[in-house]
A and B are shown apart, each in its own frame.
Chain A
């Protein structure tokens, strides 16, 4: 629990990064509704852990919590998905339904679709660097990737994004964690 001074500090330091928290959750979970739920869970967790925060970059600290909450979330949901194999077989993952085709028509849709097709570990570095503007050091802190490999991970992630944009059909085949 926070005393009133911590409460003020939390509101001044952490809450301004709510947009960053939501944006990361939205792209990791590929769903706004899930991002709201996981984002709220992450904010509560941050609130509970805040007395343990001893300076440093507060955005990186918060995003690390958001990121870990989202990965736990994905793991939970994967297990559920695995249990309903029938559904997946029925719908077939790469069925290009009219809705998908329609959003692919504009570039925002194309980019969204391409970015969402990347594995989460590639998606997160692109979101953190290219959307959030995090330094490599912050990315290493948030994702627990060794700092020495942030650059090469980004490089692979961006290459795959470029491929997905060039050839939307291929991206499904490249799907991996």
Chain B
């Protein structure tokens, strides 16, 4: 007696890769198949123990340095090998720097590119937070514990609210870095998913919500009362919208 779904669909369900119809159908199957329930438990505990064991190995600093150095070396700087005088070198360096800064300025000022870069950073931060031990620095479902925790750690005070009654229990908070600035990150749970809410101060006026998705992660970003907010998760876009509405008080 072996259920063939335990070897196939179960994994798609566990990995959140089934379409909504397939997922609902499998959930109905779970109600009457104890074998799949056990297999799902086993899969959960395997995943958990892999997370706890912190198997992910980040690039060591010396390796990072070596890579950066080798990329620098392969830049098209043939002029350096031609034995040109230092004056020419200095002029060339100045031009290169201008071109480099110019290109960077152009890419930062084109809203689209900026958005993409920011979204990529936000998603990276979200993924980082899912690494074992990185999700929250202050573990609490109590907004009155989480909010004061940020005091003295940031030069602004992020709004903190628990939405457990609306299906988004607060899990805690931490400090993260986006675009070189320290930002507040609040973590909400939603079923098996986690939602990160990044908050940082901004000079811009209220900004209408913009959303997007990348690598299977969705994000919604908006500005309100001098704060910029960005929610990100692998949960469904409608789930993010709910949280967006809760946070904006709609």
User: Which of B25-33, B42-50, B152-160 touches A?
Assistant: B42-50
Other than the given A1-B76, A19-B59, 12 more pairs (CB < 8 A) read A9-B107, A12-B107, A22-B58, A22-B59, A22-B63, A36-B66, A39-B67, A47-B71, A130-B47, A132-B56, A133-B130, A135-B216
Q: Distance in Å from the Cβ of A29 to the closest Cβ of chain B?
A: 12
Given contacts A23-B58, A59-B215, A107-B49, contact A43 B70 (CB under 8 A): yes
Report B17-41 CB contacts with A as 1/0, cut-off 8 Å: 1000000000000000000000000
Binding site for A on B (CB under 8 A): 7-12, 15, 17, 42-43, 46-47, 49-50, 52-60, 62-64, 66-68, 70-71, 74-76, 96, 99-100, 103-104, 107, 117, 120-121, 124, 127, 130, 214-216
Residues of B within 8 A of A130 (CB): 47, 50
Residues of B within 8 A of A57 (CB): 214-215
A44 touches B70 (CB 8 A): yes
User: Chain B's interface: helix, strand, loop or mixed, by majority?
Assistant: helix
A4 touches B99 (CB 8 A): yes
By beta carbon, the residue of chain B nearest A106 is B53
Which one of A10, A43, A151 contacts B12 once the chains associate, using CB atoms below 8 Å?
A: A151
Q: Distance in Å from the Cβ of A6 to the closest Cβ of chain B?
A: 9
Rounded to whole angstroms, the CA-CA distance of A84 and B104 in the bound complex is 52
Q: Distance in Å from the Cβ of B12 to the closest Cβ of chain A?
A: 5
Residues of A within 8 A of B9 (CB): 151
A155 touches B7 (CB 8 A): yes
Rounded to whole angstroms, the CA-CA distance of A94 and B243 in the bound complex is 53
A12-42 contacts to B, CB under 8 A, are 12-13, 15-16, 18-19, 21-23, 26-27, 32, 36, 39-40
B42 touches A154 (CB 8 A): no
Rounded to whole angstroms, the CA-CA distance of A161 and B43 in the bound complex is 11
Which one of A19, A47, A108 contacts B58 once the chains associate, using CB atoms below 8 Å?
A: A19
Given contacts A44-B71, A57-B215, contact A151 B46 (CB under 8 A): no
Binding site for B on A (CB under 8 A): 1-2, 4-5, 7-10, 12-13, 15-16, 18-19, 21-23, 26-27, 32, 36, 39-40, 43-44, 47-48, 57, 59, 107-108, 111-112, 115, 129-133, 135-138, 151-152, 154-156, 158-159, 161-162, 165
